[in-house]
């Protein structure tokens, strides 16, 4: 994690986070039944086996997550399409603004021939 300019996380902290996510029946061990019944089991495997996804999980935006839970009928694809639409419309607004600056140029400011 240090080579990725990330602060090192202690294993005890990761283990506590995993136990909080799974909420096993007995805190002595995590069973397969606990993993199957947990909706966050995919995140547990990402935390354990994929460093990039672990960092993404640690740096996630809680406000974005809350907004996603406000409308649970949207699929992941719908959310992606909405984000891309907003990004592309913002890029288009920036291009339009830069083109308008060029339109302001008045002929009276041009050099005579």
Domain presence at residue 8: yes
Instruction: Convert the pLDDT of each residue in 16-61 to its tens digit.
Output: 888 888 888 887 888 888 888 888 888 888 888 888 888 887 777 7
Is residue 35 in some structural domain? yes
Q: What is the pLDDT of residue 103?
A: 53
The rounded distance, in Å, linking the Cα atoms of 83 and 92 is 14
Scanning the chain, the segments in alpha helix (DSSP H) are: 11-22, 32-37, 41-49, 51-58, 62-70, 76-103
pLDDT at residue 40 in the model: 83
Residues of the domain holding 9:
1-60
CA-to-CA separations, 63 to 39, 43, 54, 58, 72, in angstroms, rounded: 20, 18, 19, 14, 15
User: How many domains is the chain built from?
Assistant: 2
Cα–Cα dist 47/57, whole Å:
8
On whether residue 7 sits in a domain, the answer given is yes
- In sequence order, the 6+-apart residues with CB closer than 8 A to the CB of 23 are 34, 38
Residue bearing the bigger pLDDT, 61 or 65: 61
- The three-class DSSP label of residue 19 is helix
Whether residues 96 and 45 fall in one domain? no
Taking residues 53-74, report their average pLDDT: 76
Q: How far, in Å, CA of 35 to CA of 44, rounded? A: 9
- 53 and 70 co-located in one domain: no
CATH code (residue 8)? 1.10.238.10
The C-alpha R_g of the chain, in whole angstroms, comes to 24
| 49 and 1 in a common domain | yes
Question: What's the pLDDT band for 13 if we cut at 50, 70, 90?
Answer: confident
Asked if residue 68 and residue 56 are part of one domain, the reply reads: no
């Amino acid at each position: 994690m240090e080579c990725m300019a990330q602060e090192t996380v202690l294993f005890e902290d990761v283990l506590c986070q995993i136990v909080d996510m799974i909420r096993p029946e007995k805190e002595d061990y995590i069973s397969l039944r606990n993993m199957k019944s947990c909706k966050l089991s995919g995140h547990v495997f990402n935390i354990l086996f994929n460093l990039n996804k672990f960092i993404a999980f640690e740096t996630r935006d809680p406000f974005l997550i809350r907004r996603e839970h406000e409308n649970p009928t949207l699929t992941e694809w719908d959310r992606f399409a909405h984000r891309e639409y907003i990004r592309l419309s913002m890029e288009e607004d920036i291009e339009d603004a830069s083109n308008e600056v060029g339109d302001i140029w008045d002929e009276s400011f041009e050099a005579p021939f």
